[in-house]
């Protein structure tokens, strides 16, 4: 995973374990978290594993008025969001204790249901189970605490997504271990695990090890602590492991705490993630124009990587201009489907400047923007979906942005029989674009305004002429005749808009002029 997390974890892990050993009342604390374990091939979880707490985003929980459906929502960094729904059978309220077999989506009449959706991925049918460990309500009927284990398959026999959602749960048993560790090939990793039981009971600790030829060992010391050790060999070069430590007390209460292990090092250089895989190690662009290429096959995603259309296999670049300038970043020349986001700010608090996917009907991406001297701009290139590929990243001076200038000829014509006015003019464009010009023509007869509306859509290339006819809706004028446009002065107010598909920028220009309507010859 990422070095900034590892630094923080290494500083805090000893204090964290000490805290759990000294303060036994911690087991009575309220816990809010979401654990997700996605099998390879699972669509919703994407084959990834995750662990979220309130430090990573916002949790909320609701229950339907009849108590049949419970919903929990988590919103983290942009593009990270999870929805969990559970329902009982036959419109009955969910109860505790409750083990349910879900044979469909939530809210069905004859079956219990569930649905775990995340980051825009969901199921249209499912099989699964969920077990309500804890459920209580406030006096107003809202959820006070919740603890549910679940296993979901979009289709029977599909790879599974499993996990646990806790919302203000009062845990009878808690486990503590560093959530993430890095280990270098050939070095020995040591992880300390501690358990605390609300009743002071003995806790048996285990470590269900991942599949594969892992020589790691776990020792339960018999005093509610344990130690996991592992020395990875070359078989695990560049591998990311995710599994759980488990604790069970004499009353049958169980608890889990996840850990992610990144193995640093490789048999060959190509199996390593790219050097700019993480935001903190963004490739610095010294000047423009700049072009580079790299293999992104082993690029990874950090939990706080921002979302731009998609978020897979991200790599980062950074550039600080010494003068104000217009820039174009693109991935032209890459051989895979890319997305491209541009940001300012700091890690965890980035502001998006631009985002693009499939520029000009290609699989590559382009973002153009006006850069300010002294500001650092960060460029995140992501694959649209997991793939192998070679990225070509280009940062070059941007072309002149699209500009439009609408104008109206000072004389228009009027048909005295129908009151139909015809006006004309031109639109000037600095590049090819589609322009919409819309507005109103207004005359005042006495104290009565007469107004007609118009809209013109035209392809613009250089200076492009336009014309349109305008009529008013027939109405009585002073009770004697219909109100029609006539010869004389008339006011035009209009707005021209265009969209630059290259840069993703919208352009707008307003005009207000007074013209003279003349009768047709």
Q: What is the largest CA-CA distance in the chain?
A: 106
Q: Left, alpha or beta for 269 (phi > 0: left; psi -120 to 50: alpha)?
A: alpha
Question: What CATH number is given for 174-264 in this structure?
Answer: 2.60.40.10
Whole-number pLDDT of residue 1: 40
Using CB atoms within 10 Å of the CB of residue 294, give its burial: 0 to 12 exposed, 13 to 18 middle, 19+ buried: middle
The answer for residues whose C-beta is within 8 angstroms of residue 307's C-beta and 6 or more apart is 77, 78, 79, 80
β-strand 254-264 against 180-184: which pairing, if any? parallel
Q: 216 near 230, Cβ under 8 Å?
A: yes
Distance linking the first and last C-alpha atoms of the chain:
79
How far apart CA 137 and CA 132 sit, in angstroms, is: 14
Cis status, amide bond into 429, omega within 30 of 0 = no
Take residue 511 and report the two structure tokens written for it.
């005009």
Measured CA to CA, the distance from residue 517 to residue 472 in angstroms comes to 15
What is the domain partition of the chain in residue ranges?
30-170, 174-264, 273-397, 404-519
In this prediction, residue 268 carries a pLDDT of 46
Are the CB atoms for 437 and 406 separated by under 8 Å?
A: yes
Residues in Cβ contact with 457 at an 8 Å cutoff, skipping those fewer than 6 apart:
434, 435, 436, 437
Alpha-carbon separation of residue 440 from 233, 378, 475 (angstroms): 75, 44, 18
Q: Tell me the C-alpha distance between 332 and 503, whole Å.
A: 14
Question: Residue 203, CB half-sphere, CA atoms under 13 Å: how many?
Answer: 28
**Are the C-beta atoms of residues 299 and 313 closer than 8 Å to each other?**
yes
Right CATH number for 273-397 from 3.40.50.12780, 3.40.50.2020, 2.40.40.20, 2.60.120.380?
Answer: 2.60.120.380
- Per residue of the chain (521 residues), give pLDDT as tens: 444 344 433 444 444 444 444 433 444 567 898 888 888 888 898 887 888 889 889 999 999 988 889 999 999 888 789 999 999 888 888 887 678 888 888 877 678 889 999 988 888 888 888 988 889 999 998 999 998 989 999 887 788 898 889 999 887 777 778 777 888 877 888 989 888 887 788 999 988 655 444 457 889 999 999 998 888 776 677 777 767 788 898 888 877 777 778 888 754 444 688 999 999 999 999 999 999 999 998 999 998 999 999 889 999 999 999 999 999 999 999 999 999 999 999 999 999 999 999 888 889 999 989 999 999 999 999 999 888 889 999 999 988 888 899 999 999 999 988 889 999 999 999 888 899 999 999 998 888 888 999 999 999 888 999 999 998 766 555 554 567 888 899 999 999 999 876 666 788 999 999 999 998 75
The one-character DSSP state at 13 is: H
Q: What span, in angstroms and rounded, lies between the C-alpha atoms of 178 and 258?
A: 8
The tokens of 47 are what?
């084959």
174-264 and 404-519, same CATH topology: yes
Q: What is the pLDDT of residue 504?
A: 62
Bridging pattern class, strands 338-346 and 404-408: unpaired
Residue for token pair 């605390």: 196
Class of the domain covering 404-519: mainly beta
- In 3D space, the residue among 16, 386, 387 whose CA is nearest the CA of residue 181 turns out to be 16
Contact 87, 108 (CB under 8 A): yes
- The pTM for the full model equals 0.46
């Amino acid at each position: 995973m990422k070095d900034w997390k590892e630094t923080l974890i290494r500083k805090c892990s000893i204090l964290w374990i000490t805290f759990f050993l000294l303060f036994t009342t911690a087991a009575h604390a309220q816990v809010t978290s979401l654990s997700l374990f996605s099998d390879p091939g699972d669509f919703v979880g994407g084959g990834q594993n995750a662990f979220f707490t309130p430090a990573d985003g916002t949790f909320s929980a609701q229950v339907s008025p009849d108590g049949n459906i419970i919903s929990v929502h988590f919103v983290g960094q942009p593009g990270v969001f999870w929805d969990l729904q559970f329902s009982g059978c036959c419109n009955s309220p969910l109860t505790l204790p409750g083990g349910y077999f879900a044979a469909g989506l939530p809210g069905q009449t004859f079956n219990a249901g569930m649905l775990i959706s995340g980051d825009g991925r969901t199921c249209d049918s499912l099989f699964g189970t969920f077990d309500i460990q804890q459920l209580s309500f406030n006096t107003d009927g809202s959820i006070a605490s919740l603890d549910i284990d679940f296993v979901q398959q979009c289709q029977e026999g599909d790879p599974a997504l499993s996990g646990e959602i806790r919302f203000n749960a009062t845990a009878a048993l808690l486990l503590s271990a560093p959530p993430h560790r890095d280990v270098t090939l050939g070095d020995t990793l040591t992880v300390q695990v501690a358990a605390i039981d609300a009743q002071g009971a003995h806790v048996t600790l285990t470590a269900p090890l991942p599949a594969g030829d892992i020589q790691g060992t776990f020792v339960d010391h018999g005093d509610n602590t344990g130690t996991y050790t592992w020395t990875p060999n070359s078989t695990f070069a560049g591998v990311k492991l995710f599994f759980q430590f488990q604790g069970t007390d004499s009353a049958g209460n169980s608890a889990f705490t996840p850990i992610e292990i990144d193995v640093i090092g490789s048999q060959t250089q190509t199996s390593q993630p790219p050097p700019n895989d993480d935001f903190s190690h963004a490739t610095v662009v010294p000047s423009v124009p700049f072009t580079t290429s790299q293999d992104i096959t082993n690029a990874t995603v950090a939990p706080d990587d921002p979302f731009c259309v998609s978020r897979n296999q991200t790599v980062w670049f950074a550039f600080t201009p010494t003068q104000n300038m217009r820039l174009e970043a693109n991935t032209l020349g890459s051989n895979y489907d890319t997305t491209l986001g541009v940001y300012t700010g700091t890690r965890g608090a980035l502001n998006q400047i631009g985002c693009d996917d499939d520029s000009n009907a290609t699989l590559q991406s382009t973002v153009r923007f006006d850069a300010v001297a002294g500001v650092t701009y960060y460029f995140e290139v992501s694959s649209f979906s997991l793939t192998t590929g070679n990225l070509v990243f280009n940062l070059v001076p941007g072309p002149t942005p699209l500009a439009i200038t609408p104008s109206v000829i000072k004389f228009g014509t009027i048909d005295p029989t129908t009151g139909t006015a015809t006006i004309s003019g031109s639109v000037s464009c600095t590049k090819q674009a589609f322009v919409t010009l819309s507005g109103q023509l207004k005359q005042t007869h006495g104290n009565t305004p007469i107004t007609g509306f118009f809209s013109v859509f035209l392809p613009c290339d250089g200076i492009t002429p336009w014309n349109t006819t305008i009529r008013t809706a027939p109405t009585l004028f002073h009770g004697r005749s219909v109100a029609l446009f006539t010869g004389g002065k008339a006011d035009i107010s209009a707005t021209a808009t265009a969209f630059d598909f290259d840069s993703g920028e919208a352009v707008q220009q307003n005009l207000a002029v007074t013209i003279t309507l003349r009768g047709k010859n």
